């Protein structure tokens, strides 16, 4: 701009506009939104829920279809639901005969199974290690069980309590299943992984392909985190409360503090647990050196107690994170973390 034209611009432009133009724009950080679900009406029945829905404590979350729609399959305790982010969270419980065993509950949900013969198949994991392979019909709001199996590793643990199940698709070799024992104040979390492979059944069922985790390929790694221990008493820190794996092999994990008081306080954080590389016989897992958090949801006051137990990776550095805040219900956060 020539000097004379610039002078005229400065003289005729209102000062407030000049000031506003000099301020960089910042995206607003995402906000937590309450998750409350309704039950799908059956045969003309009214929805079996209160006017605002029933609180839903979320233990696992997985993207359904187009990331732009921000629509997710979710599990919590004994229920499954479809939730969708927006100005408010829409949530509908799914019709399902799939239930956890007595004294167990659903604690994890994988992303969509890579290379599955059917679309919208996922793994739901119980805390005792029972894995349900399920198929979602998002139009009919139903899920069906395709298969069921036990993840390896329970026999190596004291008081096994599994939280987290994910898949990694390397550039070569078998798809890798990854699951985790959450750990507690007496023992670290343990990350397990192994080949997720087709098995030949003695009496195969027509049109059904059976997959299992090959026990001969299973490896494990203890994980201990310390960033939550700097915030609060370490008595009930769970080093892994969920996991998801990026396409490049980066393992993202949630950690959570549970005071064993259903009203809190709670605290949690997101961090990188390590990275997979290679594939087949050359598959490697390398842990990170310090497990420093990407973000923490710290104890401040009862209004913001967050026990993050569900994670999904979205496009462009965004996350979907959901909570099981016990008596305080569940919440959902979608977006980039500050």
134-186: per-residue pLDDT in tens? Answer: 999 978 888 999 999 999 999 888 889 999 999 999 999 999 999 999 998 78
- Rg, Å, the chain Cα set: 23
Q: How far apart are CA 319 and CA 253, in angstroms?
A: 12
Give the model's pLDDT for residue 115.
Answer: 86
Q: Does 25 score more than 80 pLDDT?
A: no
Q: How far apart are CA 38 and CA 40, in angstroms?
A: 6
Identify the residue with better confidence: 316 or 200: 316
Give the model's pLDDT for residue 185.
Answer: 79
When mean pLDDT is compared across 86-100, 112-126, 141-155, 221-235, the lowest value belongs to 221-235
Give the model's pLDDT for residue 275.
Answer: 96
Identify the residue with better confidence: 305 or 213: 213
CATH number, domain 53-335, options 3.30.70, 1.10.3470, 2.115.10, 1.20.120: 2.115.10
276 pairs with which residues across the strands? 285
Give the model's pLDDT for residue 300.
Answer: 52
When mean pLDDT is compared across 204-213, 277-286, 311-320, 321-330, the lowest value belongs to 204-213
Give the model's pLDDT for residue 113.
Answer: 96
- What's the 3-state SS for 302-316? HHHCCCEEEEEECCC
Choose among 84, 22, 26, 79: nearest CA to 56.
Answer: 79
Q: How far apart are CA 242 and CA 191, in angstroms?
A: 11
Give the model's pLDDT for residue 72.
Answer: 97
């Amino acid at each position: 701009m020539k000097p004379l034209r610039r002078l005229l611009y400065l003289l005729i432009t209102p000062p407030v506009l000049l000031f506003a133009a000099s301020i960089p724009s910042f995206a607003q950080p995402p906000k937590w939104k309450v998750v409350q679900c309704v039950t799908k009406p059956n045969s003309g029945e009214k929805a079996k829920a209160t006017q605002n829905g029933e609180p839903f404590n979320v233990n696992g979350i997985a993207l359904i279809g187009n990331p732009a729609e921000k629509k997710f399959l979710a599990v919590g305790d004994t229920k499954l639901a479809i939730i969708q982010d927006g100005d408010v969270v829409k949530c509908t419980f799914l019709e399902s005969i799939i239930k956890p065993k007595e004294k167990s509950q659903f604690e994890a949900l994988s992303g969509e199974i890579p290379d599955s013969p059917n679309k919208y198949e996922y793994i739901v994991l119980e805390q005792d290690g029972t894995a349900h392979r399920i198929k979602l019909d998002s139009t009919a709001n139903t899920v069906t069980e395709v298969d069921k199996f036990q993840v390896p590793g329970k026999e190596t643990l004291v008081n096994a309590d599994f939280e987290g199940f994910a898949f990694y698709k390397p550039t070569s070799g078998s798809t890798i299943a990854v699951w985790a024992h959450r750990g507690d104040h007496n023992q670290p979390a343990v990350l397990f992984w192994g080949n997720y492979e087709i098995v030949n059944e003695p009496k195969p069922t027509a049109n059904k392909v059976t997959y299992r985790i090959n026990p001969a390929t299973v490896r494990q790694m203890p994980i201990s985190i310390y960033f939550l221990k700097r915030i609060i008493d370490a008595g009930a820190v769970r080093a892994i409360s969920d996991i998801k794996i990026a396409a490049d092999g980066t393992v993202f994990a949630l950690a959570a503090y549970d005071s064993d008081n259903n009203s809190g306080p709670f605290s949690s954080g997101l961090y990188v647990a390590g990275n997979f590389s290679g594939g087949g016989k050359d598959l490697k897992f390398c842990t990170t050196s310090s497990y420093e958090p990407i973000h923490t949801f710290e104890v401040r006051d009862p209004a913001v107690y967050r026990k993050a137990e569900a994670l999904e990776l979205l496009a462009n550095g965004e996350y979907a994170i959901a909570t099981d805040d016990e008596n305080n219900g569940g919440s959902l956060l979608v977006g980039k973390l500050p």
